[in-house]
Amino acid sequence: MAEFLESKTGLDGKRRRRSHKGEARRAEILSAAMRRFAEDGYQNAAIGDVARDVGLSLPGLLHHFPTKVDLLLAILDKRDLESESFIGPYRSDLRGLLKGMVGVFRRNAEMIEVVRAFAILNAESLMKDHPAKAWFLDRATELQNDIAATFELAVADGSIDRKINGKAMAAELIAVMDGLQMLWLRDPTRFDMVDGLEAYVSRLLVSLGFDG
């Protein structure tokens, strides 16, 4: 609804309402932080630089995000919402799932800075005590489980050979996607990750007994 204002409960138990102007400012901050994380990585990015990028003082930014960790977690939450449609519509349709992955890559190809930022955050999250460590681990585990479950449904209904290991196929798909994405990030003018994944998926569908 156009008039909707998000409600929020404060520490004093009273309801708070976030204005549209406040939401727009938060979105601007998140976009600026994403650019900084893409350029410098989370560990090296300075929250003061993010504030300057959006024309705020540091206290002004901290009003919206009290710490750099809060800023990071808000970015991750936003990404979760944007990626919610990745698996959902295709949970019981293996062919649709594989084609959907190409669609996700095609969408990602239009926002290289976002993809670069998340690739950097993903790598950084391997460090001990990184604040995004659990988020990336949970996300990878959930993704692998969802893909494996779709393969297992296809095995159960006879669509593909029962000897196919869903967990192994899920791991292979994730590895292929991550590898293609990294090649593209290194030089998007020389490598097309969408074409690469589309060709891989076509070969995989044929090997699984689909029509490609």
Among 150, 53, 167, 48, residue whose Cα is nearest residue 99: 150
Compute the distance between CA of residue 158 and CA of residue 170 in angstroms, rounded to an integer: 18
Compute the distance between CA of residue 161 and CA of residue 77 in angstroms, rounded to an integer: 37
What pLDDT does residue 124 have?
Answer: 93
Give residue 63's pLDDT band: very low, low, confident or very high (50, 70, 90).
very high
Give residue 92's pLDDT band: very low, low, confident or very high (50, 70, 90).
confident
What pLDDT does residue 43 have?
Answer: 87
For 96-129, what is each residue's pLDDT tens digit?
A: 999 889 988 998 999 898 899 999 999 999 998 9
What pLDDT does residue 6 have?
Answer: 32
Instruction: Extract the tokens encoding 20.
Output: 């549209």
Compute the distance between CA of residue 31 and CA of residue 134 in angstroms, rounded to an integer: 22
What pLDDT does residue 15 have?
Answer: 45
Among 122, 124, 115, residue whose Cα is nearest residue 186: 115
What pLDDT does residue 11 have?
Answer: 39
Residue percentage of the chain with pLDDT more than 70: 87
For domain 83-208, which architecture applies? Orthogonal Bundle (1.10)
What pLDDT does residue 212 have?
Answer: 56
pTM for the structure as a whole = 0.78
Task: Give the CA-trace dihedral at 165, 170, 171, 177, to 10 degrees.
Answer: 140
For 6-60, what is each residue's pLDDT tens digit?
A: 333 443 444 445 567 878 899 999 999 989 988 888 889 999 999 999 999 999 9
Give residue 85's pLDDT band: very low, low, confident or very high (50, 70, 90).
low
Domain boundaries in the chain? 6-74, 83-208
Asked whether the predicted pLDDT for residue 87 surpasses 90, the reply is no
Phi/psi at 91 (5° precision): -55, -30
For 156-194, what is each residue's pLDDT tens digit?
A: 999 999 999 999 999 999 999 999 999 999 999 999 999
Pairing of strands 15-18, 6-9: antiparallel
Compute the distance between CA of residue 171 and CA of residue 57 in angstroms, rounded to an integer: 45
Taking CA atoms, 148 is separated from 30, 166, 178, 203, in Å, by 33, 4, 17, 19
What pLDDT does residue 197 have?
Answer: 97
For 127-150, what is each residue's pLDDT tens digit?
A: 989 999 999 999 899 889 999 999
Domain 6-74 fold is Arc Repressor Mutant, subunit A (1.10.10)
